[in-house]
Amino acid sequence: MTKTTIRPYGDTENDGKVQVAFSLPMPYGPLGVEAAKALAIKMGIKNASVVHGTSLGADFSHYIVYGTVSHDVDLAGLSVIEVEGDHMEMEEVEALIKEHFDRELVFIGASTGTDAHTVGIDAIMNMKGYHGHYGLERYQGIKAINLGGQVDNEALLEQAIKENADVILISQTVTQKDVHIENLTGFVELLEAEGQRDRFVVVIGGPRISHALAKELGYDAGFGPGKYANDVAAFAIRTLIERQKNQD
């Protein structure tokens, strides 16, 4: 019988062992260690033990705490919102484009707002790609335009219209104080204000991005860690094909 209720484990099944890491605004030392243990206990971690601690400067410190929790999770009560569609490799994506389109599809991407981190958008867009998965620049049938980092929402939309883009890709790496939510919300509002929302397939990605969050904010899809150019391209092209059918 398939289990529906699970607990964390470290050494043996259902032993409830967990490890958490956090920083405290105080110097590293015996008092900091005790503070970390006390905080872990308040979090519901029993037999909390600080297995590693280090100084982060004069007034800050970092701790790793190991212990046991009694909580479990009922899988039957969980729901997951995922991007639909079978996995496709680069060659399959290229074949899909060739079958349904008689022109290059234009993908334009950027890290927007104050976000200067381009590792995410580069992994998706640049020819080299990441982890053995080529980027969109290498795909036949795709014209990939990477605008880089710190691109204003207005500038991204202006370039997307100028290039007659089919797909807009937005990467957000900086997430402190949920700045990515504000920026992503602003782009959707800009699209709607300019009457351009239905013109593009708009996809977002980043370390704290999920498909559920993307849909909540008004985007077509969201991709988090472990996703590559072929995943993004497959979704975007399937969506373009579906929209094309609805227009016929």
How far is it, in rounded angstroms, from Cα 130 to Cα 162?
28
pLDDT at 76: 87
pLDDT attached to residue 1: 43
Close Cβ partners of 213 (under 8 Å, ≥ 6 residues apart): 222
Q: What are the tens digits of pLDDT across the range 146-177?
A: 999 999 999 999 999 999 999 999 999 877 77
4 confidence band (pLDDT: 50, 70, 90): confident
Mean pLDDT for the chain? 94
* Mean pLDDT value across residues 214-233: 95
Annotated catalytic sites, by residue?
A: 128
Mean pLDDT computed over 95-122:
95
- Residue 123, pLDDT > 80, answer yes
Among candidate residues 175, 184, 170, the one with its CA nearest the CA of residue 208 = 175
- Per-residue pLDDT band for 246 (boundaries 50, 70, 90) equals confident
- CA–CA gap between residue 55 and residue 199 (Å, rounded): 51
Whole-Å CA distances, 61 to 21, 89, 103, 163, 175 = 11, 44, 55, 48, 21
Percent of the chain with pLDDT over 70: 98
Does 3 score more than 80 pLDDT?
no
Residue 122 pLDDT exceeds 80: yes
Q: Enter the tokens of residue 233.
A: 């391209």
Average pLDDT, integer, range 29-44: 97
When pLDDT is averaged across residues 214-231 and rounded to a whole number, the result is 94
Q: Give the C-alpha separation, 9 to 41, whole Å.
A: 18
| Range scoring the smallest mean pLDDT among 112-126, 175-189, 200-214, 217-231 | 175-189
Q: Which of these ranges, 89-93, 161-165, 195-199, 224-228, has the smallest mean pLDDT? A: 224-228
Structure tokens at 71: 């909580």
Which pLDDT belongs to residue 105? 98
| C-alpha to C-alpha distances, 88 to 93, 126, 180, 235, nearest whole angstrom | 6, 19, 29, 9
Instruction: Specify the pLDDT at position 178.
Output: 80
Residue 208 has pLDDT above 80, yes or no: yes
The distance in angstroms from the start CA to the end CA of the chain is: 48
Q: What domains are defined for the chain?
A: 5-75 (3.30.30.60), 90-247 (3.40.50.280)
| pLDDT number for residue 2 | 62
pTM recorded for the entire structure: 0.81
137-149 pLDDT per residue, tens = 999 999 999 999 9
